[in-house]
Structures are given as structure tokens and as C-alpha cells.
Amino acid sequence: MQILSKYFLASLISLSVSFAVPPALNIYIIPFDNTKSEPSISWLSDAFSDMISSNLLSQDRVYVKNQSNLEDVMSNRSLLSQQKPGTKNFLVLGKFERSLDKILLSIQLIDIATWDEIDSRKVSGYYNQIDDLNTSLTQLVKTMLTPYLPKPVKSKYPTLTEGKGMQEPPTYAQSAIDVSSAIDQALVDLEKNMDVSIGAQGERDPNVSQEVEGEWVLDISKESYEKAKPENEMNTVMMVEVLESLMNNPYSVSLDKPKFNYDPDNKKEFQISLPVNYTLKSSIVKDMLRSLPYSGLKQDGSLTIFYFNKDKYNFPPDISEKIQLGKYRSVPVIQLLNASGSPMAVLVDSHDKIIQGLNSDRVVYKPFKYFSPLIDFTIGGWSMQVSLETVEIPVNYEFNMEVSSANSISRVKLKFVPESELHSYLRTLL
């Protein structure tokens, strides 16, 4: 009788909660269609859907679904009838193509229940300004969904908490199971506490919070977040591979031929101008978006920040040390070489005051302060952040050099040297 009463009570609670919650909006977002099948921009297919999903997750009672969820509904249409009355299901169908440096997107909003097109719009942007295109795309989709977003229900009681978007809304059956499980667990906990009190069930679990004289206490002094978790090993392998690529070789460089002009004040010297353009490799953002299950993503203009926490990753000690000591930072060193490969001039772009004060009798040495790192890492006890600045740094290095030495220049070479190795590297050149 007691068991029947318990499940009857759980069912009543579940039904009352379910009918009290206003209808939701399910948004199915699948990878965009690369209409011209261009391999160089294929990464945008998942990136665009990720952008929209991230933007909608903060909406109250809006539930983001993926391609797997769509396939479930397609194979079993009865799932739609099991949802709360008034719930809508929309599919965001997108396709894109590139015309020169411009990206053209077409968006359709489809009602899954009837397969009617609710709305369709277009938006465009530039390939080298993905941040602006992200803003335009997410704003457009939000505008299309605005008429169908769940309206907040005003209550006569003060609002204590605000609802958060969820990936999967609970069904009637799940709500009943959750309530029933909670009651079962409460009974188990009560019996366990009674047994512990009389010494029949051993010691309390130190990893579970305990009530001590009206205060809930959780002891984390013995918990080691440096200890590797076996279930995170696969994610960690992917993370290390991507991070090593980011740390060792993140930049793309465009070198133009240097220009030689006679110095009007000294005809024995050339005024040399060497244009260089620094950017992050385009594949980096793609790898970060598609390869790693990040815990959070933030975009602010040209700045993109990825968050990773230790619930999903093990942070290897060598990676942590490299970040904490800044060993991933590097400096561009440019050499102008003669036909035999000997340096005639060395240009170092570093803000280091010691580097700025160096000189050489063997080659023309010129320090500059134009380059700024476009990638940064931050690691703490709980999480790691990777910041990427998707901008270009155009630099024009200008310096004077004797005509006889300048005429022997036949090759220009640029190398990124770790800051920790820069002094020893320069000693071999100067």
C-alpha cells in the first residue's frame, strides 16, 4: 500500500508539473549545405550550425536539437505527439556558397509537423570577416524565430529564478521516473544515515556533501584535479594534438620582395623596405570548432575564446607547464641571406628590452616592435582558455644597408623562434 501511494503521488506531481510548464520550441539545427562542394570552406558547414546553436542555448524553453534527433523524428513521427500541447518543431535548413571573397547564405525555416516553409531569408558576408557574418547569421535566425518563441508567463508571485535553455526537455514519463527515483533515493539516504549513526554501515563517503550542525560541507582537500581520469583520455589525446599545433606553428606569413631605393642623403646606402603580413592559419579556427568538444565559446569582435574544463579533459603536466611559463610564445626573426646562405641582415621583431639593445659587428642587425601574438593560453586549477585573434598584422620593415652588401642579398627567410630560445638562437647569427 505504501509503495502504491508513493507511485500515485509521483504520477500526480509529474502531471501537475508537466501541465504547468508552458509549451516549448524545439529547433533542429543540422550542418549547412556546401552547395558548390568547395573543400577549402567545407569547415563552415558545421561552424554555421554551431554558431546558431550557441546563440539559442540561452533562450528560455527553446531546446536545440541535432541531426541525430531529427533522424529519430523522421523514423518515428509519433514522437511529436508525445510532446507537451502547443510545442512547435522547426528545422533550420541552411546552404552556402562562396563568390570570390564573399559568402552567400540562404536560410529556410521548416515546420517539421507539416513540412511547410515558414520563412526563408538570405544573408551575406566576407570570408575574412567570419565574426561579422556570425553576428548577421545569428541575428537573422533569431528574427525568423521571434514570432514563435515561447512568451514568458507572468506570475502573481515574485520570480526567484530564471529558467535556462536545455538540450533535452523531459517527457511525461521521464518526469514521473525522476520524481519516483528521488523518493527512492531519499529513503535509501535516510536508511544509510541511520545505519552510519549506529555504526552499521561504515564511514561516510568523503566525496559526498554532508550536513553538519545545520551546514552542508564538502571536503575537497583530498581531491586531486591533476589526477588523470580514464574516461577523458580520448578527449585529451585530441586536445594535445591540436594544442601542440597551435603552440608550435600557429601563424601564416606572407613575404613580399624587398624594395631597394637609394638613400638621398647617402648614395652609398640603400633604403630597404620589406613588407610582411602576419595572420593566424585559417585551419586553426576550423580545428578548434570541429575537433574539440569545448565547454564554452565566446566571441567579441575579432576575438574568439574557447573554454575547456577538467570534467572532460586531463591537462598533461607538460602542457600545463608550457602554458604557465609562457613557453609557447614565439618571435619572428627575419634573415636576408646571400647566395651561400650567410646572413647579411637580421631583423628581430620583439618587445624585449634586452633584444632591443643588442648589436652586431658581423651583420646588419635591426630590432623592431611591430608584431603582437595572435594566440594566448590561460590555465587554472579548473579550466583552460584558448584566445584567438583573427586579424591581420601588416608590417613594413624599413632599414638602411650598404649598397655593396645589399646587392648580394638573394634570399629572405622568416622563422618563429620561442622567446625562451631567442637569445641562444641570435648568438649563432650575430
Question: 74-109, pLDDT tens digit by residue?
Answer: 777 778 777 878 788 999 999 998 877 788 999 999
The model's pTM: 0.49
The 3-state secondary structure of the chain, one letter per residue: CHHHHHHHHHHHHHHHHHHHCCCCEEEEECCCEECCCCHHHCCHHHHHHHHHHHHHCCCCCEEEECHHHHHHHHHCCHHHHCCCCCCEEEEEEEEEEEECCEEEEEEEEEECCCCEEEEEEEEEEECCCHHHHHHHHHHHHHHHHHHHCCCCCCCCCCCCCCCCCCCCCCCHHHHHHHHHHHHHHHHHHHHHHHHHHCCCCCCCCCCCCEEECCEEECCCCCCCCCCCCHHHHHHHHHHHHHHHHHHHCCEEEEECCCEEEEECCEEEEEEEEEEEEEEECHHHHHHHHHHCCCCEEEEECCEEEEEEECCCCCCCHHHHHHHHCCCCCEEEEEEEECCCCCEEEEEEECCCHHHHCCCCCCCEEEEECCCCCCEEEEECCCEEEEEEECCCEEEEEEEEEEHHHHCCCCEEEEEEEEHHHHHHHHHCCC
Segment 55-61 shows an average pLDDT of: 79
Percent of the chain, pLDDT > 70? 75
> What CA–CA distance (Å, rounded) separates 337 from 130?
38
pLDDT at position 363: 92
| pLDDT of res. 187 | 63
Give the mean pLDDT of the chain: 78
According to the model, what pLDDT value does residue 311 have? Answer: 75
Residue 177 has a pLDDT of: 55
Domain positions in the chain:
2-148, 233-427
Q: Which is nearest to 254 in space by CA: 57, 393, 89?
A: 393
For 267-309, the pLDDT digits (tens) are: 889 999 999 999 988 777 776 666 667 777 787 778 888 888 8
Q: Is residue 29 pLDDT above 70, yes or no?
A: yes
**pLDDT (mean) for 242-260:** 88
Q: What was the pLDDT predicted at 225?
A: 42
User: Higher pLDDT residue, 65 or 60?
Assistant: 65
User: Tell me, what's the pLDDT at 102?
Assistant: 85
Q: CB–CB of 69/29 below 8 Å?
A: no
Q: At what angle do helices 44-56 and 130-145 cross, to 10 degrees?
A: 50
Asked if pLDDT for residue 2 goes beyond 80, the answer is no
Q: Examine the pLDDT at 374 and tell me if it is beyond 50.
A: yes
- pLDDT for the residue 401: 92
Looking up cell 549513526, which residue turns up? 197
Homologous superfamily (CATH) for 2-148: TolB, N-terminal domain (3.40.50.10070)
Res. 399: pLDDT tops 90: yes
Cα 289 from Cα 43, distance rounded (Å):
9
Residue 14 has what pLDDT? 47
Tell me which of 118 and 202 has the higher pLDDT: 118
Q: State the Cα angle at 402 between 401 and 407, rounded to 5°.
A: 95
Q: What is the spatial order of strands in the sheet that 330-337 belongs to?
A: 364-368, 343-349, 330-337, 411-418
> 158 is written with which cell numbers?
515574485
Residue 224 scores a pLDDT above 50: no
Q: Which sign does the torsion angle of CA 345, 348, 349, 352 carry?
A: negative
CB atoms within 10 A of CB 291: 13
368: pLDDT strictly greater than 90: yes
Q: Is the confidence at residue 153, as pLDDT, over 80? A: no
Q: Which of 2-11, 20-29, 211-220 has the lowest mean pLDDT?
A: 2-11
Using the predicted structure, report yes or no on whether residue 40 has a pLDDT greater than 80.
no
pLDDT of residue 395: 94
Other CB atoms within 10 Å distance of the CB of residue 8: 10
pLDDT at 8 over 60: no
The pLDDT of residue 4: 46
Q: Is 70 exceeded by the pLDDT of residue 364?
A: yes
Q: Which three cell numbers stand for residue 145?
A: 524565430
pLDDT at 223 over 50: no
Average pLDDT, integer, range 396-421 = 92
